[in-house]
């Protein structure tokens, strides 16, 4: 079956640095990618939607200059958290969509110290 | 905007018993899709069951079934013969379409504990 690979699964970074999270679809091409954020004991909140080759559309309240999303190919999308702060510590999940099927990555725990 | 409400933050059930998780939603769309996802401690999102709004028949997947009441905008999940491995967070989710840029909207989740 289809597999989505998200890396890193866990990352710790220092405040002020940037960290990149990759989401790869291993055996299908995803035209649309959704990025979600999940705080502890909370639900998944949509951050942004991206289409291959286009700029991402961000949800209200999500800083586009802080959370850089690149969807340069149909099999790879990246989320870069720039100038990370402790409040950015969270669980980030990618969700590629192809045809009428929704997939999820394994998620990435980000801890900013 | 669509909203999804799960009114039970936590539930528990004895092993082998049946439990029902509640979900209501609000939308003005006539056709849409509803889902239940399981999120175990690993945090991997696992699809439990899916329902298309235009189908009147309730979806079933082995021990999992739904009670879809379109007029009431209710979509409850019934887990029969509960197993210890069913312990997880369960999220109800809605989307108005499976093409284009239509994301899933999630409820706040219900934490289910299956007790031996």
Q: What is the pLDDT of residue A2?
A: 58
Give residue A1's pLDDT band: very low, low, confident or very high (50, 70, 90).
low
Of B91, B100, B101, nearest to A43 by CB-CB distance is B91
Instruction: Calculate what percentage of chain B has a pLDDT beyond 90.
Output: 91
Tens digits of residue pLDDT in A18-76: 999 999 998 888 889 999 999 988 999 999 999 888 889 999 999 999 999 998 889 99
Using alpha carbons only, what angle is made at residue A39 by residues A88 and A28, rounded to the nearest 5 degrees? 90
Of B44, B47, B105, nearest to A106 by CB-CB distance is B44
Measured CA to CA, the distance from residue A10 to residue A111 in angstroms comes to: 8
Q: What is the pLDDT of residue A100?
A: 82
Of A93, A99, A100, nearest to B45 by CB-CB distance is A93
Average pLDDT, chain B: 95
User: Residues of A near B (CB-CB distance < 8 A)?
Assistant: 32, 34, 38, 42-46, 49, 51, 57, 91, 93, 95, 97, 99-102, 104, 106-107
Collapsed DSSP state (helix, strand, coil) of residue A52: coil
Tens digits of residue pLDDT in A44-59: 999 999 988 888 999 9
Contact status, residue A30 vs residue A74, Cβ threshold 8 Å: yes
- What's chain A's Rg over C-alpha atoms? 13
Q: What is the pLDDT of residue B99?
A: 81
Measured CA to CA, the distance from residue A8 to residue A1 in angstroms comes to: 22
Give residue B1's pLDDT band: very low, low, confident or very high (50, 70, 90).
confident
């Amino acid at each position: 079956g289809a597999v989505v690979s998200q890396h890193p699964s866990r990352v710790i970074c220092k405040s002020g640095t940037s960290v990149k999270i990759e989401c790869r679809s291993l055996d299908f091409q995803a035209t649309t990618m959704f990025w979600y954020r999940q705080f502890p004991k909370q639900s998944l909140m949509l951050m942004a939607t991206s289409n291959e080759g286009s700029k991402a559309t961000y949800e209200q309240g999500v800083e586009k200059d802080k959370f850089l999303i690149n969807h340069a190919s149909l099999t790879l999308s990246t989320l870069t958290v720039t100038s990370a702060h402790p409040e950015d510590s969270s669980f980030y999940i990618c969700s590629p969509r192809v045809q009428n099927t929704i997939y999820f990555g394994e998620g990435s725990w980000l801890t900013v110290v | 905007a669509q909203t999804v409400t799960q009114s039970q933050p936590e539930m528990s059930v004895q092993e082998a018993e049946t439990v029902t998780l509640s979900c209501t939603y609000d939308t003005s769309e006539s056709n849409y899709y509803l889902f239940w996802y399981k999120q175990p401690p690993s945090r991997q999102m696992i699809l439990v069951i899916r329902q298309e709004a235009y189908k009147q028949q309730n979806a079933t997947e082995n021990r999992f079934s739904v009670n879809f009441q379109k007029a009431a905008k209710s979509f409850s999940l019934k887990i029969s013969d509960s197993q210890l491995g069913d312990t997880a967070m369960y999220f109800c989710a809605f989307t108005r379409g499976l093409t284009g840029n239509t994301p899933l909207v999630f409820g706040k989740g219900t934490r289910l504990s299956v007790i031996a």
